[in-house]
Every structure is written in C-alpha cells, then in structure tokens.
Amino acid sequence: MNEENLSKEQRILRVLRKVLANIVKDATPAPGQPHPLKESTIYDIRDLFGLISEREAELADLSKPDRNEKPVFTDEPKKSNVIKMHPSGTNKPGDK
C-alpha cells in the first residue's frame, strides 16, 4: 500500500466512526425510555467500533512502527544534560 491509499482509508474509517457515533447518539433514548435498537444490533455496533479501531491501529503500525512514542514538548525540561569534555592537553602518559 502506498501513502495515498493509507490516508484515504484512514479518512474513510474516521468518517465511518463519526457517522456511526452520531447514529448511536441520535438513537439513544431518554432515561427511562425503551431502546429503539435490538440487542443484537447494539452488539453489532460494538463489534463494528472494535473492527474500526483494530484497522486504525494496523494502519498506524504500517505508517509509524513505533507509535507508542510520547510527544515531545519544547517547554518540557530536559531529562539529561550534555557535559562537554575537553582533552586534558597534549600530555602523553608519563609526561608531567
């Protein structure tokens, strides 16, 4: 797969997730009201969200193999300090 296909598939998955979430929001009844969807439909929707997530993770692994990296912020204090070491001079061993 090339970069163009990956980004197009990622866009499709993102839109699919948003539309499905909006359907769930619109179909969610007020408290105390019966749910308009069958129990099997609710499980199918959950499965679909799971499949979308799995595919998004696969695509992320393909594009960025080490996707567990943390973001680096410019104002974050550095965890290590670089110490410059200068040669002690041109003295050879045994010279004073």
11-27: pLDDT as tens digits = 999 999 999 999 999 99
pLDDT at 32: 93
Distance of CA 4 to the CA centre of its chain: 19
Residues 6+ apart with CB under 8 A from 27: 35, 36, 37
Distance, CA of 26 to CA of 87 (rounded, Å) = 71
Decide if 56 is inside a domain. yes
pLDDT at 66: 66
Distance, CA of 37 to CA of 15 (rounded, Å) = 22
How is residue 6 written in tokens? 């990956």
Residue 19: which domain range? Answer: 10-27+35-63
How is residue 70 written in tokens? 């943390």
41-65 pLDDT, tens digit per residue, is: 999 999 999 999 999 989 888 877 6
Decide if 20 is inside a domain. yes
* Domain tally, the chain: 1
